[in-house]
Structure 1
Amino acid sequence: MTAFRGHIDGLNTKTIQSAHAVIERESVSKVFVDGSNLGSFVAETKQRLPAVEVVTFFHNVETRFFWGAFCKNKTVHAAGVMVANYLAERKAVRWSDKVICLNQRDSRLLKKLYGRGATHIAPMALEDKLPSSFNHKTEFSDSQPYALFVGGTFYANQTGITWFVREVAPRIDLLIYIVGRGFEALKSELEIPGKVTVVGTVDNLSEWYMRAQFVVAPVFDGSGMKTKVAEALMYGKKVVGTPEAFTGYEDIINQAGWVCSTVDDFVAAIVTAGKEIKTLFYPELREIYQNKYSLNAARVRMKKILEEPI
């Protein structure tokens, strides 16, 4: 199977040869590879064009990510996807001149799996989607406050929010809205009248963030960094989440919210958040996003990394 040779996610012999032709024709000296799943391209590039510097950005430790997916759904297909990504990622680690990870946790895991950690750490970046109409001074109205869960139905999100609905929601006096693509199919499983409302796919996510008191992130598995934490900061929202949700955000946890590992932790943190959060927008949280997790911040980091000698 070509997948086990690293021909995954659109990569194949033709696309690799086409990219090499451009590199040679344009005398390209540096190549940025956006994802460790493209490890076969990395390997073939360094073997054919050894003078070209190859920098690979690891969005996750893909092997760890797909191992989690396999544990959730133990099928032959899931096992094959995991193995194909392992083989590709191993090539990316071996052949890249620079390896960029989102956090130290992922770097340590690369070292454990493949014998080499990251050469550079660069946290995630997120396009700024705060609309100009967003009311930065919105105070609570007479409407019922709510906490917001945002995410698609990939395995870690679904497992985490199912646990939260079962274990935490019955013990708190706050409405929870679940927003994210695919969750509308789980209404019957997750909704609790007066406690949990499943919205599912929405056209305008900013409206839901605008009115939320805070964000919950009960995610217990995964790799990389959780996009929805940076997104919450972008909208000036605090987060009640697990250590996994805050992985890569450790230096701003005290400002960003509350870390919870157990049911009791979540209940206590949500009670505290309900009492302490009196505004719908924290400008200092948005400033953290702008300084650390915006595209402008990422450009500064990447420029420095790319300009450093090997």
Structure 2
Amino acid sequence: MKHKVLFITMHPLGESTGGSIASLNFLKMVFSVFDGQVRAVIPSGSESIVRDHGVEDLVLLDQRNKLDKAVYFLRGICRDRYTPYVDTNLETLMVGVSHVFLDGSMLGRFAAVVKNRFTNVKVVMLHHNFERKYYADTKMPWYQRILINRVIDYNQGAGWKQCDMNLTFTEKDKHDLSDAYGNAGEKKCEVIGYHEDCQELKVRKRDKNTAPRVRMIITGNLSVRKGYEGALWFVNEVLPSMDEIDYELIIAGRNPHIDLIDACDGLEAVSLIANPESMDDLLEVSDVFINPSSIGSGIKVRNFDGLRHGLPVLCRKGNEYGFEQLTERVFSIFEDVTDFKQSLTEVTDNRNEVFESYKSEYAICSGVRKLRALTMKDK
């Protein structure tokens, strides 16, 4: 007998944000483990890319209006588009379903909704972040700040306790969740890690002999504080201690913040590229990937921009979670300016080594094996 999965995601799929990328890869894993027997509840704009990956049983939901979002937020319910649709249509959604996968901990309240009416169904939730830490570093209006921890605890906290299995990307998130909400006990928590499709390493386009300066690259959503604050620190604090004849720096990403634009203005060795048509083209001609961020929670998906292109990663301390198993030749950590400069001198052009390490640890087939081992024993 085939087992059907109900998959609900809190992220729009097919976008270039870390959450969207991670959610699509998780859907691919679930689809593979359950032999394509997946019913997905997704944002309406995600239909095309989800169908491209083989999922045909879709429920498409539009965003709610601002009044509905505000009312549900005041009630402690995440401002998602799934309430009250899932509650109202749960009987139909659950036909033939043996497992429910909640992709995103701010959907955690649905765990109790499902378990109260379908006691034999297994509910699995993927926590992308420890949300208290994530939202502490997120800019929001003061009135939302007052209520946000209540909303988080009503969703992530409740889901942590009600789910049959909690999954995290990192040991750090598992530790933080256990500290905040208690040991999961029989309600298991497993570190699944982050996994993605690993393409072949592309041939390097840049001729090192004609470009002796080390070319560093920083990527991200440069319009939000989590995306630009590290790049701004790097430009203001690290670059003044370096000689421009020794480096080039590319900073590329969505809608750069005005503070970052101003900081880069007039720096000949820095190229700030807004909304690049192809991030891959920029990464392929770079030498080393820099992650200078100091805030946020969960695994930093942007680190994979470097690893999947064979670039050694220099990562600021606090954002290394989920990468501890990589060697320093592949992934090294720095704390301050002096530490960074020393790490940069030790970088070597070892693209094949970096890529093979990345593929062996993070290939989606490895994630499928882990997820199958965790879920099949419940069938």
Could you tell me the TM-score, scaled by structure 1's length? 0.88
Contact 1:152 1:180 in 2 (8 A): yes
Letter in 2 for 1:142: T
Counterparts of residues 28-67 of structure 1 (less than 5 Å): 28-67=97-136
Change (3 A) 1:14 1:257: closer
Q: Secondary structure of the equivalent of 1:308? A: helix
Q: 1:139-178 residue pairs with structure 2 within 5 A?
A: 139-143=207-211, 144-153=213-222, 154-173=224-243, 174-178=247-251
Match of 2:164 in 1: 97
Distance in 1 of aligned mates of 2:159 and 2:209: 52
User: 1:17 and 2:88 equivalent?
Assistant: yes
**CA contact 1:64–1:223 (8 Å) conserved in 2:** yes
8 Å Cα contact 1:170/1:195 also seen in 2: no
Residue 242 of structure 1 deviates from its aligned partner by: 1.4
Deviation of 1:78 after TM superposition, in Å, equals 4.1
Following TM superposition, the consecutive aligned residue runs of length 4 or more in structure 1 with deviations greater than 6 angstroms are: none
Contact 1:126 1:231 in 2 (8 A): no
Counting aligned pairs with the same residue, the percent is: 19
- Residues 125 and 166 in structure 2, CA contact (< 8 A), matched pair in contact too: yes
- Provide the rounded CA distance (Å) in 2 between the counterparts of 1:308 and 1:136: 44
In structure 2, the residue matched to 1:296 is 365
**Structure 1 spans left out of the alignment, 5+ residues:** none
> SS at the partner of 2:261?
helix
CA–CA distance in structure 2, aligned partners of residues 20 and 95 of structure 1: 19
Cα gap change, 1:228/1:129 in structure 2, threshold over 3 Å: closer, same or farther? Answer: farther
Normalization by structure 2: what TM-score? 0.73
CA contact (8 A) 2:284 2:309 kept: yes
Which of 343, 350, 354 is the equivalent residue of 1:285? Answer: 354
- Counterpart Cα distance in 2 of 1:191 and 1:247: 33
**SS of residue in 1 equivalent to 2:346:** helix
163-172 or 78-87, larger mean C-alpha shift: 78-87
CA distance in 1, matches of 2:357, 2:346: 22
- Identify, as 1 or 2, the structure richer in strand: 2
- RMSD over aligned CA atoms reads 2.3
In structure 2, the CA distance between the partners of 1:184 and 1:93, relative to structure 1 (3 Å rule), is closer
Q: Structure 2 CA distance, aligned partners of 1:155 and 1:124?
A: 23
- C-alpha distance in 1 between matches for 2:351 and 2:175: 33
Matched residue type, 1:2:
Y
Specify the SS of the correspondent of 1:188.
helix
Specify every segment of 5 or more residues in structure 2 that has no aligned partner in the other structure, as ranges: 1-70
**Can you list the C-alpha shifts for 1:18-38, whole angstroms capped at 9, x where unaligned?**
244221x22x12111111110
- 1:272 to 1:84, Cα distance in 2 relative to 1, 3 A: same
Counterpart of 1:2 in 2: which secondary structure? helix
Residue 122 (structure 1) aligned with residue 192 (structure 2): yes
Looking at structure 1, the residues matched to 323 and 266 of structure 2 have their Cα atoms a distance apart, in angstroms, of 31
Secondary structure of the corresponding residue to residue 175 of structure 1 = strand
